[in-house]
Amino acid sequence: MEKEVKIMISDETEAHPVAMLVQIASKYDSSVYMEVPGKKVNAKSIMGMMSLDLKKGGLITVLAEGPDEAEAVQGIEAFLSGVK
């Protein structure tokens, strides 16, 4: 499953939101990746996620493959969209 998501949270390049994204991705059994033009990283890797240049208002593609892929994409989309 793949979905393009608009980033609506602030301070995306700070360690805390990136750490939260990794925690969210890690709770799913599916493989989860985040992709921006020219780069695709494992969303469960803190170092990989920190290498992305995430900015509020930017777009990122969330990809998941596995038994709970839909839930994984929805969970990450909710976080990036600022949905509590």
Q: Which residues are catalytic?
A: 16
74-80: which pairs have CB atoms within 8 A and are 24 or more residues apart? 75/24, 75/27, 75/28, 76/5, 76/21, 76/24, 76/25, 76/32, 76/34, 76/43, 77/3, 77/5, 79/9, 79/20, 79/21, 79/24, 80/5, 80/6, 80/7, 80/8, 80/9, 80/21
